[in-house]
Amino acid sequence: MVRRSGRRPGNQDTRQSILEAARSTFAEKGYDNASIRAIAASAEVDPALVHHYFGTKEKLFLATMNAPINPGELIPQALDGPREQAGERLVRMALTVWDSPAGTAALAVFRSALSNEWTARLLREFVVTQILRRAIGELVTDPAEAPMRSALVATQIAGILVPRYVLRIEPLASADPEILVAALGPNVQRFLADPLPGVFG
């Protein structure tokens, strides 16, 4: 029997609209403060339907993050190019991601990680294994210095993200991305490759 009887899984845009409502609600309020009931209301749907589709709140969160976050394609772009401008490329990549729709999902993870334990673990593992080791680590020549230099680079990225997307402090929140690239790129570059007296040696 190829086709079974019964109602076709019709109108699948309900599932999709729940996902979208979840993504924006999680991004806005973080994991804990985003209630399933609020998500359901935002999708104009019964709360129980959310469970029907996604099971638990954790699974809904993971489903929300699963689609948009896929660093596999972006990272090579950041690595490709002259070494002296790697700093600028990293900043530009971060801003591009966070200004895109996928950035909403990233913001959700980030905001949640700051107040919830298991989402924090999620973010930490993702950042360490995917971003720091895989991307930034490649750009640092001396392996012994890689952990500290990667962490310092992360410092710069977090430094933009928090004021610009989480706290929305002006003039950073509405600054043109290229201005931030010009401002922060050299600092990132310094952490990647310049000698750091007082830190190493």
What whole-number distance in Å separates Cα of residue 46 and Cα of residue 35? Answer: 13
Could you tell me the smallest distance in angstroms from the CB atom of residue 183 to a second copy?
5
Tokens of 193: 């490759």
CA distances to 99, 111, 175, 178, 180 from 171, rounded to whole Å, are: 16, 21, 6, 14, 11
In Å, the largest CA–CA distance within the chain is 73
* Partner touching 92 among a second copy, DNA, none, CB below 5 to 8 Å by kind: none
* Partner touching 125 among DNA, a second copy, none, CB below 5 to 8 Å by kind: none
- Measured from the Cβ of residue 97, the count of other Cβ atoms closer than 10 Å reads 16
To which residue do tokens 């952990």 refer?
Answer: 147
Contacts to DNA by CB under 7 A: 1, 3-12, 14-15, 34-38, 45-49, 51-52, 55-58
* Partner touching 34 among a second copy, DNA, none, CB below 5 to 8 Å by kind: DNA
Could you tell me the smallest distance in angstroms from the CB atom of residue 119 to DNA?
13
Could you tell me the smallest distance in angstroms from the CB atom of residue 134 to DNA?
32
What whole-number distance in Å separates Cα of residue 158 and Cα of residue 22? Answer: 24
Structure letter (DSSP) for residue 194:
S
Q: Given candidates 43, 57, 191, 192, which one binds a second copy under the rule CB under 8 A?
A: 191
- Asked if 187 touches a second copy (CB under 8 A), the answer is yes
Contact 193, 83 (CB under 8 A): yes
Q: In the complex with DNA, which residue's Cβ is closer, 28 or 145?
A: 28
- Asked if 170 touches a second copy (CB under 8 A), the answer is yes
- Asked if 196 touches a second copy (CB under 8 A), the answer is yes
- Measured from the Cβ of residue 146, the count of other Cβ atoms closer than 10 Å reads 17
What whole-number distance in Å separates Cα of residue 114 and Cα of residue 19? Answer: 22
Q: In the complex with a second copy, which residue's Cβ is closer, 47 or 177?
A: 177
Footprint of a second copy on this chain (CB under 8 A)? Answer: 29-30, 32-33, 111-116, 120, 123-124, 127-128, 147-148, 151-152, 154-160, 162-163, 166-167, 169-172, 175, 178-179, 181-184, 186-187, 190-191, 196-199
